[in-house]
Structure 1
Amino acid sequence: MASDLFCTDLVRRFGDHTAVDRVSLDVPAGTFFSILGPSGCGKTTLLRLLAGFDRPDSGEIQIRGARMNDVPPNKRPVNMVFQHLALFPTMSVGDNIGYGLRRQKVPAAERTRKIARVLEQVGLPGLEDRNPQQLSGGQRQRVALARCLVLEPTLLLLDEPLGALDLKLREQMKVELKHLQKAFGTTFVYITHDQSEAMVMSDQVAVMRQGRFDQVAAPETLYRNPATPFVAGFVGDNNRLSGDVISVDGDLVRLRLQSGEEVAGRIAGEGIATGRRADLFIRPESLVMNGAVPDGYSRMQATVTTTLFDGANSRIEAGVADQTIFARLPQDGSVSNLSPDSAIQLGWDPQGATVFAGEPV
């Protein structure tokens, strides 16, 4: 598939600090591509480079094969949605959406037609004459998207646009954004620190740390096959158990924990060898308890510290040696009858756990 966005070895420095450090990416046309990472990792700086608000110190940006490094923002086939939307409060919805068309000197009749069509597409037909202040937060969000999409950009850049919304509306808009992206076929480049947003909406996610991409993959791949300890710990909930490697058999490695118990997981990185320290990551929903632990699973003894109701599941926090781990288990009698200090056995399929050579995350 042809690329709408192709970047090679982008670098942006501010004094001694390298905010973007040799970042390369290839975003196929029509993709919902998210850049996920903690605050300060370089996400916004990278988006500013793509938009043209800043220039890289080195590297190249191409949009549909055309070099963009020296092209000013208003000449790039790019538009941007900001977290605070930046709608004009004194203009009607129609005038907000048509602002860019008017600057492009699109005739009034064509502007009217395009505004009506894009309002229909974003689910706000007939609201041209409303003031943005008369709309709900979700409706204002869709007006901001319509204002960008009516210009038919090659790329739509979104800078944490759901951050100012309340939780319920944010959940609703995640689904709507995905539907709109598919309906318009526009390539979205979305930055967020919220892993749920990235995982729900994206075709591809780049996990960014300290100016670099740790892994670029589909959401399910990031979740099930993290490439680094950072990705394993940052994407989704995970338990981390540290121990000494006592054996390696094919892609499985066995560790001895500080408690003396032996557990196993699947090798997910380099540098694992007998006698070395390693970290095992296991998802809370991959854990089973007591009689549900089948033969062949890794097992360890634990002591319940807390049981929390969580809808269809219970969150069980338990102590293992000097560590606390948690399991997400279906609601049933065996879980609801647990009390603090209950002794339990937790287990997991070794193929469902990932093991990396011990290092700081």
Structure 2
Amino acid sequence: MGMDSDLFCEGLVRRFGANAAVDHISLDVPAGTFFSILGPSGCGKTTLLRLLAGFDKPDEGEIHIRGQRMNDVPPNRRPVNMVFQHLALFPTMSVGDNIGYGLKRRKVTLAERRKRIARVLEQVGLPGLENRDPQELSGGQRQRVALARCLVLEPTLLLLDEPLGALDLKLREQMKVELKHLQKQFGTTFVYITHDQSEAMVMSDRVAVMRDGRFDQVAPPEELYREPATPFVAGFVGDNNRLSGALVAIRDNLAEIRLDDGALVQGRVVAGELEIGQRAELFIRPESLVLSADRVGPGLSVMEAKVRTTLFDGANSRLEAENGSRLVYARLPQDGSAPRLPPGSAIGLAWDPALARVFGAENP
């Protein structure tokens, strides 16, 4: 357990019948960290958050908050607050009364409540709105009131259960920046669960990618993106092309794979024991692909394909191409250098093997 840990868990297990929704999870979250748990629906994220909040008890393992064991501490006695997707603001109370509700239950004096409510409203960018009705506020403002209601209690941990899920796209993008700013401003440790990789990547200091009750990888966002540890992480975090074939050689940590159409391509071996002849998977990011006519040189891997369509995507064009029955995606710059490629055009897509990642196939 780290000396500066706000949250330390070891060997957490929560079973429902024969199914382990949380399967031997361990984590160590330093104070002041924005820590996200990212994974698909049904992977165990919410169950894990409920264990941390005290709404459920683990079958095995330990939960410590600031060095204190929490397994048998009820939710209302833990230094934890929680923000839900549906904000659960009291509709019959003013903004100020919503924020001060927890303080009132703790028997904080009226004068002190008013002072702390005014201060936290200033901090979340809603000064002077104490007497407003929550229904008069925008979705983003209500989100900040819900955060203020938790942060005014000065919790050690703030648990956030997909709080942006009910917002429209533009407001969600705005609130990602707001949440990151507020977390740094308050210095509170955030534990945030989401299935949206863009939320986790933009806001977090560290991200745990969860699958089937376990963590596949825990790392800063940049490392998850550039150095995925498993095929699941490579496929789940960001866009990736996934090419499969037979492993024919490994030289200097570069694996050579014969794709099903006969092409030989290369990528860097990540981890694990690979054997010649086994099925392997190569992952390459769309932005790492270039048209082979634009860049010819020794050591590049090249794959033949036919253009399916080219879509305008802001700063880039999204090129969709077919390699046999497989769709491949590339991002080409919108600087006038990329040629016009009508559907059906034969092209070559090339990449530096150092930018590709190779794993043994999970389902040979």
TM-score (structure 1 length as normaliser): 0.98
Q: Is 1:325 matched up with 2:331?
A: no
What is aligned with 1:234?
A: 236
What is aligned with 1:169?
A: 171
Q: Structure 1 stretch 56-65 or stretch 262-271: which is displaced more?
A: 262-271
**Structure 1 residues 172, 45: CA separation in 2 closer, same or farther (over 3 Å shift)?**
same
Q: Structure 1 stretch 116-125 or stretch 267-276: which is displaced more?
A: 267-276
* CA deviation map 1:171-211 (0-9, x unaligned): 00000000000000000000000000000000000000000
Alpha-carbon deviation of 1:336? 5.7
DSSP 3-state at the match of 2:85: coil
Alpha-carbon deviation of 1:332? 4.4
- The 4+ residue runs of structure 1 with deviation greater than 6 A are none
Q: Is 1:341 matched up with 2:358?
A: no
What is aligned with 2:188?
A: 186
**Equivalences for 1:1-361 in 2 at 5 Å?**
2-295=4-297, 296-333=299-336, 335=338, 337-360=340-363
One-letter amino acid of the counterpart of residue 216, structure 1: V
Alpha-carbon deviation of 1:333? 4.3
Aligned partners of 2:336, 2:186: CA distance in 1, in Å? 48
Alpha-carbon deviation of 1:309? 1.0
* CA deviation map 1:234-283 (0-9, x unaligned): 00010000011111112111111111111100001212122211000000
Aligned partners of 1:245, 1:82: CA distance in 2, in Å? 47
Aligned partners of 2:252, 2:330: CA distance in 1, in Å? 28
Quick check: 2:38–2:200 contact (8 Å CA) kept in 1? yes
One-letter amino acid of the counterpart of residue 127, structure 1: L
Alpha-carbon deviation of 1:334? 5.6
Alpha-carbon deviation of 1:321? 2.4
Q: Structure 1 stretch 321-330 or stretch 223-232: which is displaced more?
A: 321-330
Identity across matched positions, percent: 75
* CA deviation map 1:30-85 (0-9, x unaligned): 00000000000000000000000000001000000000000000000000000011
DSSP 3-state at the match of 2:303: strand
Aligned partners of 1:129, 1:241: CA distance in 2, in Å? 58
**In angstroms, what is the RMSD of aligned CA positions?**
1.1
DSSP 3-state at the match of 1:292: coil
The unaligned stretches of length 5 or more in structure 1 are none
One-letter amino acid of the counterpart of residue 81, structure 1: V
One-letter amino acid of the counterpart of residue 345, structure 1: G
DSSP 3-state at the match of 1:163: coil
Aligned partners of 1:135, 1:108: CA distance in 2, in Å? 25
Aligned partners of 2:11, 2:362: CA distance in 1, in Å? 26
Quick check: 1:6–1:25 contact (8 Å CA) kept in 2? yes
Alpha-carbon deviation of 1:289? 0.8
Alpha-carbon deviation of 1:297? 1.4
One-letter amino acid of the counterpart of residue 143, structure 1: V
Alpha-carbon deviation of 1:291? 2.8
Aligned partners of 2:281, 2:174: CA distance in 1, in Å? 37
Quick check: 1:293–1:346 contact (8 Å CA) kept in 2? no
Aligned partners of 2:29, 2:255: CA distance in 1, in Å? 36
* CA deviation map 1:62-113 (0-9, x unaligned): 0000000000000000000000110001100000000000000000100000
The unaligned stretches of length 5 or more in structure 2 are none
Quick check: 1:303–1:319 contact (8 Å CA) kept in 2? yes
One-letter amino acid of the counterpart of residue 287, structure 1: L
Aligned partners of 2:152, 2:133: CA distance in 1, in Å? 19
One-letter amino acid of the counterpart of residue 8, structure 1: E
DSSP 3-state at the match of 1:291: coil
One-letter amino acid of the counterpart of residue 303, structure 1: K
**Structure 1 residues 172, 336: CA separation in 2 closer, same or farther (over 3 Å shift)?**
farther
One-letter amino acid of the counterpart of residue 350, structure 1: P
TM-score (structure 2 length as normaliser): 0.97
Aligned partners of 1:360, 1:60: CA distance in 2, in Å? 34
Quick check: 2:292–2:302 contact (8 Å CA) kept in 1? no
